[in-house]
Amino acid sequence: MAEIVTVLGPIRAEELGVTDAHDHLFLRSPALKGQEFDDLDKAVEEVSNAATGGLRAVVEVTPIGLGRRPAKLRAVATATGVHIVAATGYHRDAHYEEGHWVRGAPVELLAERILADLRQGMHPDDWLTDAQLDSARAGVIKAGASYQRISALEERRLIAAAAGSRETGAPILVHTEIGTCGHEIVDLLTREGIKADRIILAHLDRNPDLELHREIADRGVRLEYDTPGRIKYRPDSQLLDLIAGMVESGHHSAVMLGLDLGRRDYFRAYAGGPGLTYLMETFVPRLRSRIGDDAVQKILVDTPAQAFAMATA
């Protein structure tokens, strides 16, 4: 039976339940100065409130070098009963300062550290200290590309992500900047021997181009929409139209949802919004009335259970 690796250990894929497929509970980045969040009690508060609304799992995609907190993720999972899938892998260039080891590391070292996170346990300080590995293993590999281009260093990190996935069957979730470079990312990973069903493209809804999304979904790749409630980008009605369009053409099995709360200002617990409850309490009720229960079940439960399960060789 297919397994999903959570921070408290592997579970059967069908145990995952209603899933936020892209979020953050702890994060710090030089690209988001002043927007760090690292408070355990606040994370527990957000997740337990979201659980009250029906959320059963969070894929926490904070990658290496951005303030991952494996021990705190275990504490949140224990306190709330919500499954948490943690990430290894690397983000796009903007998140690593000059001189960060991730920038200078060869593919082999980048891949080796991804594999250590997946197989042994996550490094609590991202190899900046010689601390012991945490007991929590990562369950997904993050990668990222820039706006309209994949830089040479991002290509190197995508190749390392592919190596990690080939060895373990782990899915690769790729940050697209404003939804660009989708086809190029899939081309690169495919060239590295990765099957389309191991690839998840994040933030495609930043470029809500229905035809493009159908094309990418037809390649067998999964798409993730993660800006419900991000009104500064566009109203939720546009995102509902986009999802309804995908459902209409039979592409609903390719879509997953998350909130991608990547700034402290996005959390209720830090006196901001929309907060982690937004998905189930505000967006999903509207989505249900647009596309019906069966399609919502696919998007929130069935597709994440397949996408985040470790492929067995």
- Interface residues with Zn ion (CB under 5 A) are 260, 262
Q: Between 134 and 260, name the residue whose CB sits nearer to Zn ion.
A: 260
| 263: its two tokens | 């700034």
Least distance (Å) between residue 174 CB and Zn ion: 11
Least distance (Å) between residue 201 CB and Zn ion: 12
Q: Between 89 and 262, name the residue whose CB sits nearer to Zn ion.
A: 262
129 DSSP 8-state letter: S
Q: Between 154 and 260, name the residue whose CB sits nearer to Zn ion.
A: 260
Complete edge-to-edge strand list for the sheet that includes strand 83-89: 19-23, 57-60, 83-89, 140-144, 172-175, 199-202, 222-225, 255-257
CB 60 within 8 A of CB 137: no
**Strand (E) positions, the chain?**
3-6, 9-12, 19-23, 57-60, 83-89, 140-144, 172-175, 199-202, 222-225, 255-257
Least distance (Å) between residue 61 CB and Zn ion: 5
C-alpha closest to that of 301 among 7, 16, 9, 3? 16
Least distance (Å) between residue 91 CB and Zn ion: 8
Task: Dihedral sign for Cα 37, 40, 42, 46, please.
Answer: positive
What gap in Å lies between CA 122 and CA 62, rounded to an integer?
12
CB 202 within 8 A of CB 175: yes
CB atoms within 10 A of CB 286: 14
263 DSSP 8-state letter: S
Least distance (Å) between residue 262 CB and Zn ion: 5
CB 198 within 8 A of CB 158: no
What Å distances lie between residue 41 and 7, 46, 101, 176, CA to CA?
18, 9, 31, 31
Least distance (Å) between residue 266 CB and Zn ion: 11
Q: Between 93 and 112, name the residue whose CB sits nearer to Zn ion.
A: 93
Q: Between 45 and 260, name the residue whose CB sits nearer to Zn ion.
A: 260
Q: Between 122 and 140, name the residue whose CB sits nearer to Zn ion.
A: 140
Name the amino acid, one letter, at 193. Answer: G
Q: Between 65 and 262, name the residue whose CB sits nearer to Zn ion.
A: 262
Least distance (Å) between residue 94 CB and Zn ion: 13
Least distance (Å) between residue 203 CB and Zn ion: 8
Dmax (CA) for the chain in angstroms is 52
Q: Between 262 and 274, name the residue whose CB sits nearer to Zn ion.
A: 262
Least distance (Å) between residue 148 CB and Zn ion: 19
Q: Between 208 and 258, name the residue whose CB sits nearer to Zn ion.
A: 258
C-alpha closest to that of 303 among 251, 255, 258? 255
By beta carbon distance, the residue nearest Zn ion is 260
